[in-house]
Amino acid sequence: MAESNRGGRLSLTVKLPLFIGSLLVVTVVVYSYVSYARVRRSALGLAGNRIGAVTDQLAALFKQSGSTLIRGTRQVADTDIVTRFLTNPTDRNRAAVTMLLRPNTTAGKQVASAQVFDARRRLIAVTGDSAALRTATAATSDLIAGLTAEDSGVVSRFLAVGDSVIYASASPSVSNGRVLGYLVMWRYLANPPARRQLSELIGTDSRFYIGNVGDNVWSDFSRPMDPPPVAVAGDTSILHYSRGGAEGGALIATARSIQGVPWIVLVEFPEARVLAPAAAFLRDSLLIGAAILALGLIVAWWASRQLTGPLVHLTRTAEELAGRGSSSRGGEPEGDEIARLTTVFESMVAHVRESQRELELRVKTRTNELQERNEELESFAYSISHDLRAPLRAMDGFSQALLEEYGDKLDSTGRQYAERVKAGARRMDLLIRDLLAYSKMTRGDIKVGPLELDRVVRGALDQVEGDARARGARVVVEDDMPRVQGHESTLTQVLMNLIANGIKFVPAGRTPEVRVRTEGRDGVVRLWVMDNGIGIPPEYHERIFRVFERLHRTDEYPGTGIGLAIVRKGVERMGGRVGLESEADRGTSFWIDLPLAVDQPPARAAVAP
């Protein structure tokens, strides 16, 4: 990780894993959170349904208890003891009633106190807990105010008295359809066995409360309790709150009004219990996420090393090449490898463009110079060659004159010398003539146009006819040759040289045979000049086209070694190509490729050989 933090700039080797790591973290966190939220919502929904059902059951149970309570009170109110006292409130009858209604009798189970009112709602007898009664007096008159002979009774709201909660049931005492009076029985809301049974019914984690509709008196069936921290309506909504304190923690709760009584029942369930599976799910998915993250980071680091290794190497090499690496400049290169590579690449491109421009300019200048030199050289060679011929002619002429006029005065050695001078002059003249021809071929304008091959070949044959006849050669020319693009005198010269060689390079005793024919393909005409001569070894196929390159001594096969150089130059200047195939002692076939004449109908191009 040496490259990880050069000058505070992060390398790709670190950037890539960081990027992939961040991506994984975001993915894991988002995925876990979204899944957790869903699991949580569905767990809460399920718990809400369950707790709702439990609350419904409790409400039904309490409704039933309410009716039972009223029925019980009414039964007591209708007993003979009570009706007798109400009809005839003597001390004896009062004592009987007080006896009947004293707390903890069967009839007055959990009864805190009982009150008997006459038909005009005046209190005529009291039993039980006077402290509870003091608080209850105002509530009592409200309770019995609306009772008629048709009513079986009512149940009061809860009242908090000290550390108890009390409630009353009131019934009219009726005889022959007439209200004799009213019986009100106050009870403590404290029933440990019932509480235990209900707790078992709703589950140990749940708690239930009972309270008044619309005020803050609540009890858990044993003592007054703090009201829930939110307004509780007896509807089906699911409540979420926390009670704070030691038992704090979020709760979900539902409340139901109880029919027939002014009470409301509330069931609470700790949210932590509901959400335990969701929390476990979140913990598990975060753990799995962390494992994936660790694995992802390792893989990303490894992959990034594999990927960026060559890139880092390339960047360094490129920086070194461009002479802008950290070592060469002392300063740190900017950015990561890609940014550095881009910078280096741009500067390299600029360099290359600049160099290219310079190079093009230099090539142009050099080419112009070279062309000028060449032209100078050629004209110099031409004039030299030209000028050389005059003294040569003098040498030839005077050696001839020497032989003719002074021949008899010379001995045989002197004559031989004079012959040699003459022969040398002639050979030199020949060389110069050929050189001039070559020089001419390289200079001057060559305008290419359509040519009748038949005519050009015949013209060349006329030129070599003397030679052919002297050697007894047979020259066969194919009929109906196509038209090609060329330059007439150049092509004539080229064909002359090739046919002359075909006649010349034949072993003594063999009749020279030369064949000229064409073949055409793809708009190109290949013109063959084939002989039955000595052949040319493959290693010389290229060399023989150079000036003065000869494979034989002049006394064997005379010549200057310029003929094929002229052939190649001429063919090239017409835009064609030249080459050969050869077999030792069987003959050589030179070919020339020239474009088919532009006005040539294509059908004629494919002339059979």
Binding site for ligand ADP (CB under 6 A): 497, 501-502, 505, 531, 533-534, 536, 544, 549-552, 559-565, 588
> CA–CA separation, 111 vs 94, rounded Å?
18
Nearer to ligand ADP, 142 or 583 (CB): 583
- Least distance from C-beta 482 to ligand ADP, angstroms? 24
Nearer to ligand ADP, 351 or 552 (CB): 552
Nearer to ligand ADP, 448 or 536 (CB): 536
- Least distance from C-beta 576 to ligand ADP, angstroms? 18
Q: Is 538 exposed, middle or buried (0-12, 13-18, 19+ CB in 10 A)?
A: exposed
Nearer to ligand ADP, 71 or 427 (CB): 427
> CA–CA separation, 568 vs 544, rounded Å?
10
Question: Helix (H) and strand (E) counts for the chain?
Answer: 12, 21
Please, which residues have CB within 8 angstroms of residue 514's CB and are 6 or more apart in sequence? Answer: 473, 474, 475, 476, 499, 502, 503, 529, 530, 531
Nearer to ligand ADP, 510 or 552 (CB): 552
| Torsion region of 128: left, alpha or beta (phi above 0 gives left; psi -120 to 50 gives alpha) | left
Q: 561 is written with which tokens?
A: 């070694």
Nearer to ligand ADP, 429 or 549 (CB): 549
> CA–CA separation, 570 vs 575, rounded Å?
9
Q: 367 is written with which tokens?
A: 């080419």
Instruction: Please choose, from the candidates 564, 563, 466, 461, the residue with its C-alpha nearest in 3D space to the C-alpha of residue 515.
Output: 461
- Least distance from C-beta 367 to ligand ADP, angstroms? 29
- Least distance from C-beta 586 to ligand ADP, angstroms? 11
The secondary element (H helix, E strand) that includes residue 210 is strand 207-212
Nearer to ligand ADP, 362 or 543 (CB): 543
Altogether, the residues listed in the chain come to a count of 609
- Least distance from C-beta 517 to ligand ADP, angstroms? 16
Strands 154-155 and 164-175, sheet pairing: antiparallel
Q: 69 is written with which tokens?
A: 């309570």
> CA–CA separation, 369 vs 46, rounded Å?
98
- Least distance from C-beta 402 to ligand ADP, angstroms? 29
- Least distance from C-beta 435 to ligand ADP, angstroms? 12
> Tokens 């880092």 — which residue?
312
Please, which residues have CB within 8 angstroms of residue 556's CB and are 6 or more apart in sequence? Answer: none
Nearer to ligand ADP, 418 or 534 (CB): 534
Which residue lies nearest ligand ADP, judged by its C-beta? 559
> Tokens 């006459």 — which residue?
118
- Least distance from C-beta 501 to ligand ADP, angstroms? 3
